[in-house]
Amino acid sequence: MGILFGKNKKCFNFFGEENLVISAHEIRKKYLEFFQKKGHTIASSDSLVPIDDPTLLFTGAGMNQFKEQFMGKNISYSRATSSQKCLRTGDIENVGKTPRHHTFFEMLGNFSFGDYFKREAINWAWEFLTKEMGISAERLWISVYKDDDEAYSIWNKEIKIPAGRIVRLDADNNFWPADAPLKGPNGPCGPCSEIFYDWGEKYSRAKHSSNPCDPSCDCGRFVEVWNLVFTSFDRKSDGTLVPLPSKNIDTGMGLERITAVLQGVYSNFETDLFVSLVNSVKANLGLAKSLHQYAFSFLSSLFFLVRREI
């Protein structure tokens, strides 16, 4: 385990093993409490199958239940936080092959409906990761949308991230939904800024020994842990981006990924969320590593779908 969490705290995982510095359960709790203290209402995880949204088969992001609020409708509170159960089928070919793709996962998020914007979203994300969770600032890299000078300036001038650890990327990386200006879908969208954890050079060495590496590289050295979306536009069918009545914030941090970082394990399947269950699937089904991770991911999706009586 890496020395990443500076508070020297012991806790127990689901199985009573005292081998973790912080459990996933505790990370989730601290996240929701952190944003509650900043004036957010804790919203329950929405149904895995959206009830009033015919455009979606499954809930795949924390913002799905807040689509109307992003359009300026039905706002009973202007700040929300949640831990949303998600099911995504878009990355299905990667499940089992990589250390961090799942069909079922949990997304931590904080949301602003016409309330705070970039400055607060960036400052609070940084405060949570470096102060609450104790992650070393030097391990964190930032990406911003290529034209977003405002976000760049907040990271560089206010948070003091050196220019060498901030990259400007285009719309397929730093717009949400990805490439929305060009390809859609229609609806709320905007530029985003992502926070990456650097696992160190040893993870890039095998793939490119001499080339420089940054968060735009997919060698596995950099892992995106948190996406801060500055939801500012309503995309129309003709591709125009119409400014929304008010600017919004939509963030998403995969609980499995941040847990892996804080527990010092490279694979999500080795976190306290999964390790004992994955080993059980492995022992009982006798499959190769990629297949038991694949089987586990689908079993967890099925479990939550059956619980919803689907």
Q: How far apart are CA 49 and CA 307, in angstroms?
A: 11
CB of 195 to Zn ion, least distance (A): 17
Asked if 213 touches Zn ion (CB under 5 A), the answer is yes
CB of 145 to Zn ion, least distance (A): 21
Stretch that binds Zn ion, among 143-151, 199-207, 257-265, 268-276 (CB under 5 A): 199-207
Residue closer to Zn ion (CB basis): 25 or 168: 168
Residue closer to Zn ion (CB basis): 84 or 143: 143
Phi-psi domain of 91 (left: phi exceeds 0; alpha: psi -120 through 50; beta: other): alpha
Residue closer to Zn ion (CB basis): 221 or 257: 221
Residue closer to Zn ion (CB basis): 115 or 224: 224
CB of 259 to Zn ion, least distance (A): 23
Q: How far apart are CA 239 and CA 256, in angstroms?
A: 35
Stretch that binds Zn ion, among 20-28, 118-126, 197-205, 230-238 (CB under 5 A): 197-205
What Cα–Cα distance (Å) separates residue 198 from each residue in 122, 132, 225, 267, 287?
A: 19, 19, 10, 14, 31
DSSP code of 157?
I
Stretch that binds Zn ion, among 9-17, 100-108, 208-216, 249-257 (CB under 5 A): 208-216
Residue closer to Zn ion (CB basis): 214 or 270: 214
CB of 297 to Zn ion, least distance (A): 25
What Cα–Cα distance (Å) separates residue 225 from each residue in 11, 94, 121, 292?
A: 23, 17, 15, 24
84, 204, 232, 297: residue in contact with Zn ion (rule CB under 5 A): 204
75, 217, 287, 291: residue in contact with Zn ion (rule CB under 5 A): 217
Residue closer to Zn ion (CB basis): 85 or 221: 221
CB atoms within 10 A of CB 73: 10
Q: How far apart are CA 107 and CA 105, in angstroms?
A: 7
Per the structure block, which two tokens stand in for 266?
């490279």
Q: Which of residues 219-248 bind Zn ion (CB under 5 A)?
A: 219, 221
Asked if 167 touches Zn ion (CB under 5 A), the answer is no
Asked if 214 touches Zn ion (CB under 5 A), the answer is no
- Is the bond into 212 cis (omega within 30 degrees of 0)? no
Q: How far apart are CA 30 and CA 25, in angstroms?
A: 9
**Distance of alpha carbon 252 from the chain centroid:** 4
Q: How far apart are CA 64 and CA 54, in angstroms?
A: 12
Asked if 262 touches Zn ion (CB under 5 A), the answer is no
Which residues of the shown chain bind Zn ion in the complex (CB under 5 A)? 204, 213, 217, 219, 221
